[in-house]
Amino acid sequence: MPEANTIPLDFRRYSLEEMRQRAADFRAELQRRRTVRQFSDEAVPGAVIEDCIAAAGSAPSGANQQPWHFVVVSDPEIKRRIREAAEAEEREFYERRAPDEWLQALAPLGTDASKPFLETAPYLIVIFAQTYGVSEDGSRIKHYYVSESVGIATGILIAALHYAGLATLTHTPSPMSFLSDILGRPANERPYLILITGYPAEDATVPAIKRKNLGEITTLFQA
């Protein structure tokens, strides 16, 4: 095996009691997370967004290539352009492209082509996946497990923002290439999703839907 350059692991071991408590607390915290579609325009500290993105950037990735880029948008004019382009795509989707089966699957969520939150919320965090890297001399570097890596980073970002006390909406207008144009991103990056971030509107409601229970999402082969 080739020899890797190593350093000591910084690992924290908890007592069993603490471990149980931490796992139970984290479970309860994340079970309260809901995807929000009505946002307040109240300002959010930029430092919180920074910390959460830094947490997301700690995600494991294929060959440690960290194939993600986070674009943080609070500029009202850029938000307006993103809303305009996203709503144009969504109208196409809801009125023409979406098969009936897909529309039926979305019905319980009550979504439609109107996306006012793209302008109301203080932050849009646009996540890009780097399908390949570019070296100093301009040559392509192959990236591995890009969608898995960016998905994990996005999951950590959503959890971090929730833990910090903010609401998010994972939004995937399709196709999303307008984001590369508006935000001036390079050809090796493909838009992955938009995370709309802020406080929920005072009167925000969420769909009355249920999560699968533990038994449904788990299979045990016990010792």
- The answer to the question of residue 171 lying near ligand IYR (CB under 6 A) is yes
Residue window 112-151: x/- pattern of binding to ligand IYR, with contact defined by CB under 6 A: ----------------------------------------
Q: What is the Cα 95 distance to its own chain's centre?
A: 26
Residue 54 or 105 having the CB closest to ligand IYR: 105
Print the SS3 string covering 60-71. CCHHHCCCEEEE
Cα 108 to Cα 184: distance, rounded to the nearest angstrom: 35
Distances (CA, A) of 186 to 1, 79, 194: 36, 20, 17
- The answer to the question of residue 38 lying near ligand IYR (CB under 6 A) is no
Q: By three-state DSSP, how is residue 74 classified?
A: coil
* Residue 131 contacts residue 146 (beta carbons within 8 Å): yes
Question: Minimum Å distance from CB 97 to ligand IYR?
Answer: 10
- The answer to the question of residue 172 lying near ligand IYR (CB under 6 A) is yes
* Residues contacting ligand IYR: total by CB under 6 A: 9
Residue span binding ligand IYR (CB under 6 A) among the ranges 103-111, 130-138, 147-155, 197-205: 103-111
Residue 63 or 109 having the CB closest to ligand IYR: 109
Count Cβ atoms below 10 Å from residue 111 Cβ, excluding itself. Answer: 15
Residue 55 or 106 having the CB closest to ligand IYR: 106
Maximal C-alpha separation, the chain: 59
Cα 54 to Cα 70: distance, rounded to the nearest angstrom: 10
Residue 48 or 106 having the CB closest to ligand IYR: 106
- The answer to the question of residue 191 lying near ligand IYR (CB under 6 A) is no
Binding site residues, ligand IYR, CB under 6 A: 90, 93, 106, 109, 111, 171-174
